[in-house]
Structure 1
Amino acid sequence: MSFEQDEIGQRIKARREELGFSMRELARRTGLSASFISQVENKRTNVSLDSLRLIAEQLDISIHHFFSEPIIDQSYSTAAASNENSPQAASEMQYSPIVRAGSRPRLYFPDLGVNYELLVKDLTHTMEPIFGRLSPGSGNIARRLRKPTEEFIFVLVGKLLVGLEDEEHILNPGDSIYFEGNKLNKLACASEDSEVVWLSVITPPAF
């Protein structure tokens, strides 16, 4: 089990107990079995993306709740470094707007071959930028979002299949697409022998 999957079980348990749900009650609400939820919480099995969506909906949280914690970035601005004794410098040293490549919050599903990385430190703003990777042959990972959104996708590497209502589109490197989130019903790797990598921006944050 990966580190991210290990953390997911702990966070499901913490949120379930916060709401006062028993495993049996969460199982009833999601249609999953209580034994499966127990195995996930106790780190004995991985949870699929679809099952995690069901659980998140019933726990009244977004999928973002299960992203790994970002690694704290100790970098700070040049202005702060030159005047470390000022209140403004102290504030800037505590927070940097930069998200380094190795410190992105991540959510990884090894069984699906899908990896999501958040390109901001939190979702307190109006946009949610996500870096996605899908292995060849991966299936449909379209997301059920909790509220109306708009989304932009830009493909960096490989081929991405995007299904919008009754139409499917193949995006190649450099291609982009903009759509209403509720129209998305399919997202899959269309490359035969290489992964697909893309950048997605959702507004408002609802992943």
Structure 2
Amino acid sequence: MPKIHSHAHSARDLHVPEARDCPSPQDGKVDVGARLRFLREGRQLSIRALAEASGLAVNTLSLIENGKTSPSVSTLQQVAVALGVPITSFFEPDSPRSRVVYMPASQRRSTNLPHGMLSDLGAGLAQRTIEPLLITLDPGAGSGSHAIVHPGQEFVFCLEGRIQYTVDGAIYVLEPGDSLIFESTLPHGWENLEASPARALLVLCP
């Protein structure tokens, strides 16, 4: 089984992002459903039109928008592609306002996945060219039943546990300190096969 081994600004320049364009998060949690509705309506798309563009069921999108279900990463990616936005658009407001972002761990925003959690580490940065994410996977959790495909490149650095990545049919098992980088147009996905949580730094480069 193949494996990758790896062994001063002024105060006004620092910015901790605040949601202003859609409902504010409570206790650091992001309402992905409300954010999805905000983005869809901003593009004057009906939920049926978005379903057709994304390949998802109308009922699935409705459940997400109403907070009845937590979308998988692969589902979020499908919707992001259909809307023409980066996946991080579901976690931060429009109109980034700063060239420097300082984000204390206590103020980090996160969203629940079906079996884990995702945090956007770059929220509030202007002219973003990278999308840094912190992903936490519960035992047995993964990116979803469908392979993910999107433009750009993807970098992953395992922080805790063991994560199995599948990229274009090849399997890579990452342990703490291991990293993987690949063209994200290749079908890919990940899964935590262990009985304990796993965490990884995920950097998307559209």
For normalisation by structure 1, the TM-score amounts to 0.68
2:188 alignment partner, one of 185, 188, 196: 185
Q: Does 1:49 align with 2:73?
A: yes
1:174 alignment partner, one of 170, 173, 177: 177
Which residues of 2 match residues 53-132 of structure 1 at below 5 A? 53-67=77-91, 97-109=101-113, 111=114, 113-121=115-123, 122=125, 124-132=127-135
Instruction: Output the CA distance in 2 between the equivalents of 1:158 and 1:134.
Output: 9
Change (3 A) 1:44 1:187: closer
- The corresponding residue for 1:91 is none
**Aligned pairs, how many?**
174
Answer whether contact 2:74 2:143 (CA < 8 A) is retained. no
Instruction: Output the CA distance in 1 between the equivalents of 2:43 and 2:103.
Output: 32
Q: Does 1:30 align with 2:54?
A: yes
Greater Cα radius of gyration, structure 1 or 2: 1
Q: Does 1:201 align with 2:203?
A: yes
Deviations 1:65-91 (A, max 9, x none): 11156xxxxxxxxxxxxxxxxxxxxxx
Unmatched segments (≥5 aa) in structure 2? 1-24
1:40 alignment partner, one of 64, 71, 80: 64
Instruction: Output the CA distance in 2 between the equivalents of 1:61 and 1:20.
Output: 15
Q: SS where residue 133 of structure 2 aligns? A: strand
Answer whether contact 1:162 1:188 (CA < 8 A) is retained. yes
- The corresponding residue for 2:3 is none
Q: 1:195 Cα shift? A: 0.9
For normalisation by structure 2, the TM-score amounts to 0.69
Task: Give RMSD over aligned pairs.
Answer: 3.0
Instruction: Output the CA distance in 2 between the equivalents of 1:167 and 1:98.
Output: 37
Instruction: Output the CA distance in 1 between the equivalents of 2:79 and 2:155.
Output: 26
Answer whether contact 1:153 1:199 (CA < 8 A) is retained. yes
Amino acid at match of 1:107: T
Instruction: Output the CA distance in 2 between the equivalents of 1:182 and 1:125.
Output: 20
Answer whether contact 1:162 1:184 (CA < 8 A) is retained. no
- The corresponding residue for 2:9 is none
Amino acid at match of 1:18: G
Instruction: Output the CA distance in 2 between the equivalents of 1:166 and 1:46.
Output: 27
Instruction: Output the CA distance in 2 between the equivalents of 1:39 and 1:127.
Output: 29
Amino acid at match of 1:102: S
Amino acid at match of 1:60: G
Instruction: Output the CA distance in 2 between the equivalents of 1:97 and 1:5.
Output: 19
Percent identity, please: 27
More helix by share: 1
Which residues of 2 match residues 143-154 of structure 1 at below 5 A? 143-145=148-150, 147-149=151-153, 151-154=154-157
Amino acid at match of 1:116: L
Instruction: Output the CA distance in 2 between the equivalents of 1:9 and 1:39.
Output: 8
Instruction: Output the CA distance in 1 between the equivalents of 2:193 and 2:35.
Output: 33
Q: SS where residue 132 of structure 2 aligns? A: strand
Deviations 1:74-129 (A, max 9, x none): xxxxxxxxxxxxxxxxxxxx9863211122232321x2x13121222336244332
